[in-house]
Every structure is written in structure tokens, then in C-alpha cells.
Structure 1
Amino acid sequence: MVLFDHHTDTLPAPSESLISCGSWVLESIHNLPMLKKVFIIGVSEDAYLHIPKDVQNKVAVYTEHSLQSNLPTIIKSILTNLPTKSIYISMDKDVLLQEEALTAWDHGTLRLKQMMGMVKALYRTKSIIGVDICGEYPVNPSTEYHKRTKEALEKNDRANGFILQSIQHWNAKRHKPSRLLHA
């Protein structure tokens, strides 16, 4: 799995019956035998402190600083070290600059085009079995008409649209339409 996130999401679950947004990666590593390795891209510099020792060998971390200093080398490293042909991509918009998306969490420094450039490289070299996008701005009835909420929703809609359009384009290029056979 390739995860674009500003957080590792490898914290212990709050209870045995609940998987949270902060524990889902750890739960996946423990419970999905086909998951060989998780590549977390865009995390803060102290990310290693949040990964339990018993799963550190199944997690590769690329910090936001390393991405800003040498992105082409990082992309090559990720592509070279992915242990499987098929991958799942998860994108949490908190990895992005606040100018590009807005969530309820602290943000990373990745630009949307940088992230999608990495996703494009993955599409070119791997079989993508699924993609998810998360990190929406929280809206409730008391804030839905606030200026900040409206601006956040518009910003996230633009980011989601760009991500979706890119993925649809790459999927269409990969999956040639099959010829219809007539009986």
C-alpha cells in the first residue's frame, strides 16, 4: 500500500471493537496477510516515533522534508522498493499544503501536482487495485454557512476533482475497452 498522509495512522486502536482514522494502518498490517509493506509518503519528521516497533519492518516512511529536498530520487526509491506488482493507493489530503486542501488536522507541505506526479509514476509501473481519497473538512449544521467552511469545501472540491480526473484518465489509458462480441 502507498499512503499519502501527514500522519502514520499506526496508533493503537482506542478499543478492540473500534478502528479509528489514527489506527487503521496498524490494524491493516496486523490483519491483512497479503499486505506486504506500507509506504507512507509526506509524514512529519518525527513519524518514526509513532510506528510501533513490531511493525517497523513493514513500514517505509518518506518525510515531507525528504520530498522537498529530492523528489525524483524518492520516487525512484519507492518504485524500486515496492515488493509487489499490485498496490493500493490511499490519499489523505492533510498531506497537502493548506493552500491546496483543508482538513481538520495539521497539514504537510506537499503540493497537489507533486502528489499526483507520484501517483502517475505508480500508475505507469504498477497494477493499481484500488484508490481512496480522504481528509474532508468537517461540516456541521452550525458551521456549514461560515465563510471558512465554504472556502474549505470549494478548495477540497477542486482538489478532489483534479485527483478524480487524473485517476480516470490513467485508468482509461491502462484499461483498453474490450471489443463487443455479437452472438
Structure 2
Amino acid sequence: MEKERESGILLMNLSGAYEEQDFWREERSTWVRLEDLSGTNCYCDEPAIRAIREKIGEFTLSGIHFIDSGNYHYMTRIWMDKAKNPFSLLVFDNHTDMQPPAFGGLLSCGGWIADALESVELLDHVFLVGPDQSAFHQVQQVYKERVTFFSREDLQAARQTNSSSGVAASFLEMLSEYEKKTGKFSPVYLSVDKDVLNEQEVKTTWSQGDMSLTELKSCLEELQSFLKARKLPLQAADVCGEWEPENGGAGSPAGHDHANHELLEVLKGFDYEE
């Protein structure tokens, strides 16, 4: 078997969204061409899963993956199969992505975290930032026991503090409290769905939260410091939530291009697992 090559910055092209953006053009990036693959939109069937695994088979897990719109957030679950060491999953998302599958066990953008909790043995814990409290109440109890939830209401409460960095400080406190309670912390797999952001920042194809891009970046910077202080790597990072070109002009490519550029600059500062 040939040795895997470093992921670096990967662009997983399904909708063509990245072709209308510039954030990647001056980077050493690699395209994974999936635009002609059927059976991928929101739900991913077995032939498509096999084809995606073959496409990414030459790459290591470690790196930064841009995985297109939120319709394809299940890509994170597929990448997880490349993990070689225990890890925690940290997700910024306006949805829980822990819904039971509606169609015969197909992997979906709305249920991939539940699938990971059931089937990824190396997954220690999930930190989920963004969905409202009512969404979390609908999650099955068997999943809740392995998830630390930082809700939209928690974010709103954090903004009421006198500190200009209230959200980031509360986010850091969440991580620290878990470490204190369990006495451990694993390397992190980070996944960002831009639907956690408010509509003034970007417009996505799914309902959105109310985080600002500045708040999200501040949380990522706190995560970076938290992990470096413990000499822990980031296993991988991915970003989704693009506005697909076929949906028309409401989701400005310029807004997403700016957000992706800003997020990429932060993500490049992490230490990744070798």
C-alpha cells in the first residue's frame, strides 16, 4: 500500500461553490473532484461512500478540508474513518446533526454525528456549539450522555457579560470544565458549519444561528491556545456551509469567500497531528 500524502488544504468540490471564490487561490491547495458523483445530496448512499473513500484514500486525515455546502456535512463522518488515535469532536453548527435516519440507515447531513457516536470507536466525546436548547431536548438520551452542549441560549447569555470576549471566554470555560470533570482531554477533530453564523455574515442553505464571524474566530483562537498549552494537536479541521450556485444570488460568494479566508487564516495556526 502506498504511503498517504499530507492533506494540506483540500477543496471537496460537489456544487461548484469554490470555483466562484478566491480564498484558496494563493494557497497550496488540492481539489477533490466529486461534482459528477450521484447519490450525495443531503443523503449519501453506499456506492457514493465507497467512491468518496477511494477519492480521499491517498490523503492523511491531518489537514484542513473545505467540504462544500451543509448538504455534505456527513463528509466529516467519512473522514473520521481515517483516525488512528482517540479524539474528541468539536462541532460549530446551528443543528444537532443527531437525527435518526429517515431512509434505511443512509448516512445524512442531519444524522452524521449520531452515526459517529454509534460506530466510531476512537471517538471519545462530542462538543456541540450553536443549536438552540429545544433542538437538544429532541436528541435521544443515549447520545446526550456523550455530548457537551453549548446552546444558542448559552451564547446569548455569554454576550450579556461585560467582557467583549464573553462568548469566547464561556466557550473556553466549557472545555476547561470538561477537562476538570473527566481528568483528560483528547486531540480534537474540528468541524465548522457556517450556518452557525448570522445571516448578516453569510447566507447558507439551512436555517442559521446568530454567532458573528468575530465570535467564531475568537472561539477558535481560544481552542488553539487551549490545545497548545496541553501539547495536544488538532487531528483535522473542516468547514462547510457554502451557498450553492444553483440556488441563485441570495448567498453572496463574496461573503463566503471572506468568511472562508478568515477561518482559513485561523486554522493554519493550529498544530496538526502528524
Same fold (TM > 0.5): yes
Q: Which runs of 4+ in 1 moved over 3 A?
A: none
1:7 to 2:107 alignment: no
CA shift digits 1:100-133 (9 cap, x unpaired): 1211111101111111111111111222111000
1:44 to 2:132 alignment: yes
Q: Give the corresponding residue for 1:32.
A: 120
Whether the 8 Å contact between 1:43 and 1:63 is mirrored in structure 2 is yes
Q: Give the corresponding residue for 2:203.
A: 102
Query: Shift of the alpha carbon at 1:28?
Result: 0.6
Q: Which of the two has greater helix per residue?
A: 1
CA distance in 1 between partners of 2:94 and 2:264 (Å): 20
The one-letter code of the counterpart of 1:76 is E
1:138 to 2:244 alignment: yes
The one-letter code of the counterpart of 1:97 is N
Q: How many residues align?
A: 166
1:128 to 2:234 alignment: yes
Structure 1 residues 17 and 11, CA gap change in structure 2 (3 angstroms)? closer
RMSD over aligned CA atoms reads 1.8
Q: Give the corresponding residue for 2:189.
A: 88
CA distance in 2 between partners of 1:6 and 1:81 (Å): 22
Structure-to-structure mapping, 1:144-155, within 5 angstroms: 144=248, 146=249, 148-149=250-251, 152-155=252-255
Give the alignment's TM-score, normalised by structure 2: 0.57
Stretches of structure 2 lacking an aligned partner (at least 5 in a row): 1-88, 159-166, 228-232
Whether the 8 Å contact between 1:95 and 1:109 is mirrored in structure 2 is yes
Whether the 8 Å contact between 1:79 and 1:122 is mirrored in structure 2 is no
Report which stretch shifted further, 61-70 or 30-39.
Answer: 61-70
Query: Shift of the alpha carbon at 1:10?
Result: 0.0
CA distance in 2 between partners of 1:133 and 1:156 (Å): 11
Stretches of structure 1 lacking an aligned partner (at least 5 in a row): 176-183
CA shift digits 1:74-107 (9 cap, x unpaired): 4212233154230111000000011112111111
**Of 168, 172, 177, which aligns to 1:75?**
172
The one-letter code of the counterpart of 1:14 is A
- Give SS of 1:97's match: coil
CA shift digits 1:144-176 (9 cap, x unpaired): 5x4x24xx21111110110001211x13xx47x
Structure number with higher relative contact order (C-alpha < 8 Å, ≥ 6 residues apart)? 2
- Identity value in percent: 24
CA distance in 1 between partners of 2:105 and 2:154 (Å): 36
Whether the 8 Å contact between 2:220 and 2:266 is mirrored in structure 1 is no
